[in-house]
Amino acid sequence: MHAGFPRSVLIAVLGAVMASCAGFSAQKTGAMTGYGPNPTLPKPRPTLIPTVNIAEAKGWQKGGMPTPARGLMVNAFATGLDHPRWLHVLPNGDVLVAETNAPAKDDQGFSLRKVFMDLAMKRAGAATKSANRITLLRDTNGDGIADVRMTFAEGLNSPFGMTLSKGKLYVANTDALIAFPYSNGQTRVTTPPEKIVDLPAGDINHHWTKDVIASPDGRNLYVTVGSNSNVGENGMAAEKNRAAVLEVDRSTRRTRVFASGLRNPNGLSWNPETGELWVAVNERDEIGDDLVPDYMTSVRDGAFYGWPYSYFGQNIDERVKPQRPDLVARAVKPDYALGSHTASLGLTFSKGTSLGPAYGNGAFVGQHGSWNRSLFSGYKVIFVPFRDGKPSGPPKDVLAGFIGRDSKAMGRPVGVAIDRTGALLVADDVGNVIWRVRRASRRLAGGVGEQDRAS
């Protein structure tokens, strides 16, 4: 125990935290606030002790599944996985799943925030050892259920993002971007990985997940790297090449910061209408239930998006000292808010109208769910409609029902991807399932293991 922190105070604080968790457990998901291009931003309410309210991980009972939007149907594409977080669909329809978790860390000493985060992660079911594996799933008969499962790559280091470009599968480990040769239909890597570049990691590695996507021409790779803190409390030296999207030249391996001030960027996707790169970003904590909204935004070369000095444009975070008015003055306002503390991680644009005309132009977002909001937020998959290359209108729930009547989490959505048939795949790291969402048939057949909302 930290010698400078009285044991009696620690016990009192932890007791209060656990009591707050118990009290909040009966509360349901809060109203959908803080969404859109111009969200209402209340005054900040900084707290010494953060609110800790996370849905306790429970898992799905036999036959249980989330609830699709009207006109859609859901079934389990694959079950029994080990903390599946991220997805990539290969050209032949095979699906790669990153079974992964945070890397093991050495003891970093005592801090109240670390205590709260450890409590939250254990309650959320995220304190398990990383499988460090990519699994290949294949549906050979077209029934929407994977009937082939192969270990594609193992012995990785908290892998997350994956992208295929120019005959190589690139994987973003927590500490390096690596690559494997890939041939169409291949079910397992046959050579050791090639390290492309190191990625920021180190002793803190506060946000460990890294996504990767290739440019359409294959010249560059883009990698997300989250911050090493909430709002720079570990010093800005610890944030070098973090809170950013990095650009890696595929040929020379030269790496540069493409865009910065993005606290915890995750899902990357190309806007098919404009060709712009978009990203889903998790914003800062501990200044109130409704601050700061997570968001998705187009990513401009050289742009600065505010973190840690300001949020959602030029709204100054007074906690950060010293301030940087020069950076705040050029902070870019994000395109679309996704609700406060929703942990919006997965992002993919729709491809055609396989799910129906209502989902033909827009983006799907996997919201992992809040841990520090009095009422739950997120814990669902939403669709944000687009028009003329920009978000247009309020979001729609696509897949909900991840929290039960007992306020425990049967599942938590993370990565999202469109499969070769146009169905939506959703990685659920509490239920250990990959869900498949498709357009409902007119008949209410409701086959085994399906939930239908056709009417």
Q: Check whether 453 has a pLDDT greater than 80.
A: no
DSSP string, 354-392: TT-GGGSSEEEEEE---SB-SSB---EEEEEEEETTEE-
Local confidence band at 47 (pLDDT 50, 70, 90 cut-offs): confident
28-37, 63-72, 329-338, 370-379: the lowest-pLDDT one: 28-37
Query: What is the tens place of the pLDDT at every residue in 428-441?
Result: 999 999 999 999 98
How sure is the predictor about 112, in pLDDT bands with cuts at 50, 70 and 90? low
Calculate the average pLDDT of the chain.
90
Which residues make Cβ contacts (< 8 Å) with residue 3, sequence separation at least 6?
Answer: none
How does pLDDT run across 142-177, given as a tens digit for each residue?
Answer: 999 999 999 999 999 999 999 999 999 999 999 999
pTM as predicted = 0.91
390 near 363, Cβ under 8 Å?
A: no
Domain boundaries, the chain: 7-452
CATH class name, domain 7-452: mainly beta
| Dihedral sign of CA atoms 44, 46, 47, 53 in order | positive
Tell me the C-alpha distance between 283 and 225, whole Å.
13
How far is the C-alpha of 147 from the C-alpha of 235, rounded, in Å? 49
Phi-psi domain of 95 (left: phi exceeds 0; alpha: psi -120 through 50; beta: other): beta
Q: How far apart are CA 197 and CA 304, in angstroms?
A: 23
